[in-house]
Chain A
Amino acid sequence: MARIAPDALAALCAEVFGLDLDRERLEVLAPQLEVVLAEIKRSRELDLAAVSPAVVFDPLCVYPPGENDG
Chain B
Amino acid sequence: MTAEDIATWPIEALAPRLRDGELSAATLVEAVLERIAGYDGDLKAYRELSSGAVQAARAADREIAQGRYRGPLHGIPVALKDNFLTADMPSCLGVDLPPQTFPRRDAVAVRRLREAGAIIIGKTQMHGFAWGIVTPPTRNPWDRDRVPGGSSGGSAAAVVAGLCGAALGSDTGGSVRIPASLCGCVGFKPTYGLIDKDGIVTHSWSLDVVGPLARTVGDAALMLEALAGPGYAAALGQPIDGLRIGVCRQHFFDRNAPEVQNAVETAVAHLAGRWAALVEVELPHLPYGLGAILAIELASCTAGQAGLLRRGMQKRMPEDVRTLLELGAFVSGADYLRAEQVRRLLMEDFRTAFAVADVIITPTTPVTAWPHGETNVPIGDGQESILSAAWRLTYPFNLAGLPAITLPCGFDSRGLPIGLQIAGKPHAENTVLSLAHAYEEAHDWTHRRPDLA
Contact = CB atoms under 8 A, between A and B. Distances in A.
A18 B310 contact: yes
A24 B58 CA distance: 56
A2 interface: no
A18 to B, nearest CB: 7
B206 A19 contact: no
Contact of A19 (B288, B329, B345): B329
B342 interface: yes
A55 B340 contact: yes
Q: DSSP class of B's interface residues: helix, strand, loop or mixed?
A: helix
Contact of B298 (A36, A43, A54): A36
A7 interface: no
Contacts of B298: 36
Contacts of B331: 40
Contact of B327 (A32, A41, A51): A32
B310 A40 contact: no
Contacts of B290: 39
A11 interface: no
B344 A53 contact: yes
A51 B327 CA distance: 27
A37 interface: yes
A42 B327 CA distance: 18
Interface in A30-65: 32-33, 36-37, 39-44, 46, 48, 51-55
Given A37-B330, A54-B347, A43 B339 contact: yes
Interface in B296-350: 298, 306, 309-310, 312, 323, 326-327, 329-331, 335, 337-345, 347
Contact of B206 (A33, A43, A55): A55
Nearest to B298: A36
A43 B340 CA distance: 11
Size category of the B interface is: 20 to 34
B338 A43 contact: yes
A54 B341 contact: yes
Given A40-B335, A48-B342, A52-B344, A29 B327 contact: yes
A52 B338 CA distance: 9
B294 interface: yes
Given A36-B298, A55-B206, A42 B287 contact: yes
Given A18-B309, A19-B326, A44 B340 contact: no
B329 A18 contact: yes
B329 A17 contact: yes
Given A19-B326, A54-B340, A39 B291 contact: yes
A29 B339 contact: no
A44 B341 CA distance: 11
Contacts of A43: 288, 291-292, 335, 338-339, 341-342
A44 B332 CA distance: 12
A56 B337 CA distance: 10
Contacts of B288: 42-43, 46
Contact of B326 (A29, A37, A41): A29
Contacts of A18: 306, 309-310, 329
B287 A53 contact: no
B165 to A, nearest CB: 35
A36 B327 contact: yes
B295 interface: yes
Nearest to A38: B291
Which 9 pairs, one residue from A and one from B, show the smallest C-beta to C-beta distance?
A: A53-B340, A39-B291, A17-B329, A54-B343, A54-B344, A51-B341, A48-B341, A40-B291, A40-B295
24 contacts: A17-B329, A18-B309, A18-B310, A19-B326, A19-B329, A20-B312, A25-B326, A29-B326, A33-B330, A36-B327, A39-B294, A40-B335, A41-B335, A42-B288, A42-B291, A43-B291, A43-B339, A43-B341, A43-B342, A51-B345, A52-B341, A53-B343, A54-B341, A54-B344
Interface of A: 13, 17-21, 25, 28-29, 32-33, 36-37, 39-44, 46, 48, 51-55
